Chains A and B, each alone.
Chain A
């Protein structure tokens, strides 16, 4: 099977190790993975901050770049949610009928990573080994926009050596919210403090998620507070094997 990796702007810049892990993981599973060098951003940040025209220009760019690929894999649920939930409205308002048609054809081929593994490749056991206690943070977009359900847990349960630590109030927002964390920095920090209490009290070594945006927020606070915990994208756990463990993370 062939797939094209849309790495997303912030993973590309800030979390290249997640991208490398996706490559390692999917190639190990026999996927012929491509990477379109012209890709940049899905436009989520612009859309959510109110810059609709700018968001539309990114949306159009995304559709044109990927309209001919077999599958698009995106290791970020909020970017997938942007494409699924916000592109239609942007296209309705600012786009042409042709664009709308191309988007409709492309949309069923756009997958978040855990969706791609479970729904498209039909694998749960990806042959991973990660001998650590891990808690899973269910990002808002993963839970409520993509309805990922138990997919991440099923993937984690098949990882050898991994012990899952259940997280209380798992569907409560960590307070990141994109530019919300800047525009409402204090409220965002208060939400973060509450979330971090729940996460730290799991006693896990790692907090994982399908969104590095939440993890950047949580990890930034863990580092600031010497919380003795680390964050790691789920792709990096799934890519890790006994022979070649996960890359050192933050």
Chain B
């Protein structure tokens, strides 16, 4: 696959996607995409920063949110069963799915029972995770996304690049082109109001006649058996109230213990995600209410490796995530590459730790390395996931895999790490290596004392930066000489 192909059709299936450094190349060469991403992110970042600043107790809120999520995960089985009991008592039907395939089958079975050939959808990351849309389309069900960004992507046959603002990489002009072409509106202007009106007209019909909806959950409240969905556009509220049948797909980690916990979670979520004090629409419902809203309500609780992640001491914090995307907005890597380079529906720092784990470390092994470990993600995370810590732990798992396979033994990076470790074990070895390095690098050092070109891995450095040649004397040798000189003076 050439970079141009990849740019036009990014692959978000981790089993098929090229490694991150390779997938990043077409974006780095695409000025339009980079401008779109940087601009969108700078806007969200500035809004978030302002709203976080006005909260004097932001760090306490973060600590509280983190504690709530930790407590839920520490007692996950208990709270899930409590949720199941309360939701069932209120007329909901709870299904358990061990993996993506099971979840997809459950959805399809429900749709078949309903004789549904069309569904409307609220944006849900979990459905993207299990690749629900292509599966349903293949089974003859027409799926209509209702979130504005998701419509843009669906009509434009694009892929999401962000978990909150999935079409962040598409600008207004591009949206206009897609709508004009796909909605048969040749005279559409790129005025935001005209664009949203076009989307509204398209959507309204779907809302009115399609009786089946699929959505996700921001939170599952164990105490009451309620589900919470937050959104900005009102499309979610339509999907949650108008249809006859509602299917909610949620990862098992979404559960929180008490209704009261929403007070903390909703405060940190809106500020972190969109830079708003409160999200415009917060929908909360409990089971089925006769004569009001959907009369058939299904919740599918998806495991898909989450139990396995829960069992790992350092990695389990990954499950605290509330999908606010603050980490990707803060990430200097994401700011350059956008989301497609991650080859996963979960991009950015959280994607770099979540995706390889969802893949049981069989795929996406380049993602834990797709970070400079700058720590900006951890700093902004409203539930205090120490993403750099998890990244480093996953890197160690990747290296351990490679050690076992022995496949990378002659890889320059692998070899370099082993050799340098041997050298660092004794100061004399290190000193000898410094000496040899100085002589060796002399061949590459220009008259101005700088190195402009190196072979092998070094070329990765010198492709964009020079390297100052090794100075004639190391610090340790200077110190030794100085000590000797001082000794002489004293005599």
Contact = CB atoms under 8 A, between A and B. Distances in A.
B374 interface: yes
- Interface range for B: 35 or more
Contacts of A178: 372-373
A191 B335 CA distance: 9
A151 B392 CA distance: 28
A86 B375 CA distance: 14
A171 B376 contact: yes
A217 interface: yes
A37 B336 contact: no
A158 B335 CA distance: 36
Interface in B388-434: 389, 392, 395-400, 413, 417-418, 420-421, 423-427, 430, 434
Contacts of B461: 181-182, 185, 220
Given A37-B480, A49-B399, A221-B465, A12 B474 contact: yes
B373 A185 contact: no
A220 B467 contact: yes
Nearest to B468: A250
Contact of B417 (A15, A54, A140): A54
Interface stretch (A39-47, A118-126, A237-245): A39-47
Interface string A212-250: 000011011101100000000000000000000000001
Contact of A187 (B28, B378, B430, B467): B28
- Name the residue among A13, A23, A61, A85 with the largest chain B CB count within 10 angstroms: A13
Contact of A140 (B28, B376, B392, B413): B376
B470 A189 contact: no
Contacts of A20: 475, 478
Given A40-B427, A57-B425, A187-B28, A173 B374 contact: yes
A188 B25 CA distance: 12
Nearest to B397: A50
A155 B437 CA distance: 35
Given A46-B417, A49-B399, A13 B434 contact: yes
Contacts of B336: 187, 190-191, 194
A177 to B, nearest CB: 3
Interface of A: 7, 9, 11-20, 23, 35, 37-41, 43, 45-52, 54, 57-58, 61, 85-86, 89, 140-141, 144-145, 171-173, 175-192, 194, 216-217, 219-221, 223-224, 250
Given A7-B475, A37-B480, A182-B461, 10 more contacts: A12-B474, A49-B395, A145-B375, A177-B372, A182-B457, A183-B413, A189-B465, A220-B465, A221-B466, A250-B450
A37 B476 contact: yes
A216 B28 contact: no
Contact of B427 (A37, A51, A54, A250): A37
A213 B399 CA distance: 24
Nearest to A223: B466
- Name the residue among B369, B373, B463, B470 with the largest chain A CB count within 10 angstroms: B373
Contact of B479 (A35, A61, A176, A180): A35
B281 to A, nearest CB: 33
Nearest to A42: B424
Given A16-B474, A41-B424, A217 B465 contact: yes
A185 B480 contact: no
Given A191-B333, A191-B372, A183 B21 contact: yes
Contact of A9 (B374, B417, B430): B430
Contacts of B421: 46, 51, 54, 57-58
- Name the residue among B333, B376, B452 with the largest chain A CB count within 10 angstroms: B333
B473 interface: yes
Contact of A50 (B24, B395, B452, B478): B395
Contacts of B463: 185, 189
A48 B389 CA distance: 9
Nearest to B473: A16
A24 to B, nearest CB: 11
A51 B24 contact: no
B460 A182 contact: yes
